[in-house]
Amino acid sequence: MSETPVRVVLYLNQFFGQVGGEEAAGIGPRLVAEPVGPGRALVPLLGADGALVGTVVCGDNYFAEQPEQAAAEILALVRQAAPTLFLAGPAFDAGRYGQACGALCQAVTRELGIPAVTGMHEENPGVELYHRDGYVVRTGASAREMAAALGAMLRLGRKLLAGEPLGRPETEGYFPRGQVVLEMAEHTAARRAVDMLLAKLAGAPFQSEIRLPKFPTTPAPPPVPDLSRAVVALVTDGGLVPKGNPDQVEPRAATKFGVYPIGAADTLDAAQYDVTHSGYDNTSVRQDPNRLVPVDVARELEREGRIGRLHDHFISTTGVGTPLDRGRQLGRDIAAHLKGAGVEAVILTST
């Protein structure tokens, strides 16, 4: 346990720093010696073994419009006050403020090597951006809870400073950072699982040990008004690539997709293709790539006028072991590429 009094610098925006409202959102950073706004609530929480050695106040727009410049200026001011702990906000649900707080905590820890803690409401965009690298205490949406939020931030900050091991995020009050920590359990997994199931069947609350990812819904696009006039593209995650895999699409955890010409061909020729995807037996597909990317049938449908045109390239990537956010990004990039090429509908074949 540390005996040295903690030296805190607090970051506030123009509103909490009591300079003004939106009309003052463009003010540049300044270091204030006397406690102001939430700083006044922080002082009694610090008690005898801490001091608020400075408060940096900056306008939300000043930061948002030039974040690197503003961060550099703010770091210089923070350095002057020589803190051992940096607290920012709490920002509650104020988006620009939350992003500034998150970015500054990250910069302070990186450049000054001291712990940094902020606090936000779960819907603050700053949470999504900064909860993994920094420590973002969970707060409500309203500044009525200022004292509780500051208290939680300071408690966490002191623990970080003292190098004390942290309990679970829910206990310490911050958003989980996605880190896996080993714990000894009193009962075996079988027992814990049965207990959860019994609770679930009884309609009682239970805490899953594994957090399932949430999949946001995508509103379904309206149907293609007239397929006989539409440009349709073939996309696959089965990793079909030209022989030699010229773009080096990875066998798993793909970081890219390839765009490969079909031209006027009415089939895919097995001799020209390989499969890079390492997650399924690719014998069948290598014998006949149309079993994965159905150019033969698509061309037939085009000739019959069932579709307007088969797009002259197919897109291919590898869909195994792909981190979810990478998968989403690949999807967005493929969609943007195809939209730019005038494609109106896609048939995506998946292994």
Partner 1 sequence: MTPISEMVGANRAVQGNGIVHPVGDASASPAQERALRRRLIERALDALRTPVAAPTLFK
What are the residues binding partner 1 (CB under 8 A)? 215-218, 220-224, 227, 230, 232, 238, 280-285, 287-288, 290-292, 294, 296-298, 300-301, 306-307, 345, 347, 349-351
Least separation in angstroms between residue 330's CB and partner 1 is 13
Residues 328 and 336: beta-carbon distance below 8 Å: no
> Is residue 73 classed as helix, strand or coil in its secondary structure?
helix
Which CB, 54 or 319, lies closer to partner 1?
319
Which CB, 169 or 294, lies closer to partner 1?
294
Least separation in angstroms between residue 264's CB and partner 1 is 19
208 Cβ contact list (under 8 Å, min separation 6): 196
Which CB, 188 or 218, lies closer to partner 1?
218
Residues 62 and 20: beta-carbon distance below 8 Å: no
- Give the C-alpha separation, 191 to 209, whole Å: 13
Residues 2 and 115: beta-carbon distance below 8 Å: no
Least separation in angstroms between residue 288's CB and partner 1 is 6
* Spatial CA neighbour of 90 closest among 7, 162, 153: 153
Least separation in angstroms between residue 230's CB and partner 1 is 8
> Is residue 303 classed as helix, strand or coil in its secondary structure?
helix
Least separation in angstroms between residue 242's CB and partner 1 is 20
Which CB, 111 or 296, lies closer to partner 1?
296
Which CB, 201 or 220, lies closer to partner 1?
220
Least separation in angstroms between residue 234's CB and partner 1 is 10
Which CB, 36 or 230, lies closer to partner 1?
230
Which CB, 134 or 319, lies closer to partner 1?
319
Least separation in angstroms between residue 131's CB and partner 1 is 23
The residue with tokens 């955890």 is: 253
> Is residue 178 classed as helix, strand or coil in its secondary structure?
coil
* Spatial CA neighbour of 50 closest among 135, 177, 147, 158: 158
Handedness of CA 132, 138, 142, 146 (dihedral sign): negative
* Spatial CA neighbour of 9 closest among 64, 95, 102, 74: 74
Tokens representing 209?
């040990």
The amino acid occupying position 214 is: K
